[in-house]
Chains A and B, each alone.
Chain A
Amino acid sequence: MINTETETAVTVSKKYFDVNKIREDFPILRKKVHNKNLVYLDNAATTQKPEFVINKINEYYTTMNSNIHRGVHALSQTATEAYERARIQIKQFINALGKNQIIFTRGTTEAINLVASSYGRANIKEGDEIIISHMEHHSNIVPWQLLCKEKNAKLRIIPINDNGELIFKEFEKLVNEKTKFISVVYVSNSLGTINPVKRIINYAHQFNIPVLLDGAQAVNHLKVDVQDLDCDFLAFSGHKIYGPTGIGALYGKVELLDAMPPYMGGGDMISKVTFEETTYNELPHKFEAGTPDIAGAIGLGAAIEYVSNIGIENIIEHETSLLEYSTKQVSEIPGLKIIGDAKEKAGVLSFVLENIHPHDIGTLLDFEGVAIRTGHHCTQPLMQRFNIPATSRASFAMYNTKEEIDVLVNGLKKTIKVFG
């Protein structure tokens, strides 16, 4: 359990990882789809929620619902404490130095937009260059495109090889005196590639270039330590780590966040307002205008507590074994090609079947109770790189089992029989 007072990290020993016991914590896994047991393999899109998280959200609305930060009454104080406790839980989870470095956002997308709008508008000038990679989610492409258009700056793209790995040498070549910002995905949602972000950050910092990490697929699959990584910003979403949708967080270095202008104006982000002038509130409140998703934040805190109790190391070990097993099993299917076989990979198995469109695969698997994602996964430039319109993607979470992968593989064999 996370101890918010003394901040001790607790590691759970391996023997406590029991996937069947974990499955009991997730009510939706008992659901039937088309009269089959649900096999939920669309975790890169969103993860399911444990009862622990659902109950915490319920508890908030049934026992402490009120607005935070300014109320003097009892409920408001309880709600404020619960909301701020969630911030501390996130701080500990990613090993940030201070809780004022954690800004609640609606998710990864808003966190990236916050940095692009606030830091970007204040610091990026005409002729400057921003570097992203070829495997970014649209949410880490479009905000920078908008900024570049506004400032007449240039977006540069780190190329990837056929295995779906960033070409580090090419990245080094892209960095020059015009480079003013780098924003890269930590773990690719389409390929599962774990990028060498520490190396990227090290290299960028030699030239004092700040780096943002899109951690949407990282915090749930890896141990993320912002001090060890030395990243300048980290963005992630609650719903990909067993928390609710509509909540996420931005971590930033204090000196950068402090110097940044507000992203949105409104209540809670100010310390004094007159019609002539406004003094902004201190971090992190400067960036949290308006009543936030209080229940969502509490839900995210609960999700992190749940994950910490299971132990991220245990989750990594389990998911790695699922990825290895599934890779081996699907490799034996004739006509199947895995898209993205990076050496460092987490949680995602993307593939195409010869002459069978991913949409047809998705529909047939659905009737086997198997939920996978088919499409471009919001990474259209990546699909163009591999010259494919779409892939089928199975993505794993702590509650998935090898038996479920067998159901997937059998479903794929059936699909080939129908369309082959």
Chain B
Amino acid sequence: MDSELKELYQQVILDHNKSPKNFRVIENATRHAEGYNPLCGDRIDVYMNITDGVVDDISFKGEGCAISKASASLMTSVLKGKRKEEAEKLFEKFHDLVTGKLGEKPDTDELGKLAVFAGVQEFPVRVKCASLAWHTMINALNNKTVKVTTE
């Protein structure tokens, strides 16, 4: 594979695409939001249980490309146990990462394993794939029932 392409489809991303984590419905979830990318027809449902401002459980269902699926999978595994404010902060950081605001070699201390999405910045049309799950999560977090769309 071309090196730029390898940056986008890192092995971690391919693995999460194949066997996504937290790919399930949480019955009776306290928070739920739906996301939609009309450009490629991707749909995602994010479910959350929040207790005392902490993400007790988080999961997703839906269909999408490797980038969006891996992004949702990694997001859910990173956010479990995080406080609401931390989740919001991570969202901003992640958004800056995929839109290239952190530069080509971003400081990945805070992002941890989310740093694998740095390659997305070279593919402007794929930014929405990477961020759909996050936008949907923020809506679920804030109890917004409106459907998120990336267009």
- A389–B5 touching, CB < 8 Å: no
User: What is the chain B residue whose CB lies nearest that of A417?
Assistant: B1
Residues on B with beta carbons closer than 8 Å to the beta carbon of A383: 41
- A359–B1 touching, CB < 8 Å: no
Say which one of A2-10, A157-165, A360-368 lies at the interface with B.
Answer: A360-368
Q: A374 at interface (Cβ–Cβ under 8 A)? A: yes
Residues on A with beta carbons closer than 8 Å to the beta carbon of B4: 367
Residues on B with beta carbons closer than 8 Å to the beta carbon of A418: 1, 9, 14
Q: A246 at interface (Cβ–Cβ under 8 A)? A: no
CB of A386 to closest CB in B, whole Å = 12
We find that the number of chain A residues with CB closer than 8 angstroms to chain B is 18
Q: A358 at interface (Cβ–Cβ under 8 A)? A: yes
- B41–A419 touching, CB < 8 Å: no
Residues on B with beta carbons closer than 8 Å to the beta carbon of A363: 5, 8, 123, 126
Residues on A with beta carbons closer than 8 Å to the beta carbon of B123: 363
- A359–B65 touching, CB < 8 Å: yes
User: What is the chain A residue whose CB lies nearest that of B129?
Assistant: A359
Residues 381-395 (chain A) with a chain B CB within 8 angstroms: 383, 389-390
Q: A210 at interface (Cβ–Cβ under 8 A)? A: no
- A364–B40 touching, CB < 8 Å: no
Q: B2 at interface (Cβ–Cβ under 8 A)? A: yes
Residues 42-73 (chain B) with a chain A CB within 8 angstroms: 42-43, 63-67, 69
CB of A339 to closest CB in B, whole Å = 13
Using A359-B65, A360-B65, A363-B126 as known contacts, say yes or no to A389 and B9 having CB atoms under 8 A apart: no
- B8–A357 touching, CB < 8 Å: no
User: What is the chain A residue whose CB lies nearest that of B62?
Assistant: A389
Residues on A with beta carbons closer than 8 Å to the beta carbon of B5: 363-364, 367
CB of A32 to closest CB in B, whole Å = 13
CB-contact partner of A389 in B1, B14, B18, B40, under 8 A? B40
Bound form: Cα–Cα A360–B9 in Å = 9
- Ranked 7 nearest A-B pairs via Cβ: A389-B41, A357-B65, A359-B65, A390-B41, A360-B66, A367-B2, A360-B65
Question: In the complex, given contacts A364-B5, A374-B40, what are 5 additional A-B residue pairs having Cβ atoms less than 8 angstroms apart?
Answer: A357-B64, A357-B65, A359-B65, A367-B1, A367-B4
Chain A residues proximal to chain B, CB less than 8 Å: 34, 356-360, 363-364, 367, 374-376, 380, 383, 389-390, 418-419
**Pairs across A and B, CB under 8 Å, 26 listed:** A356-B66, A357-B64, A357-B65, A357-B66, A358-B65, A359-B65, A359-B129, A360-B9, A363-B8, A363-B123, A367-B1, A374-B40, A375-B39, A375-B41, A376-B41, A389-B40, A389-B41, A389-B63, A390-B40, A390-B41, A418-B1, A418-B14, A419-B14, A419-B17, A419-B18, A419-B66
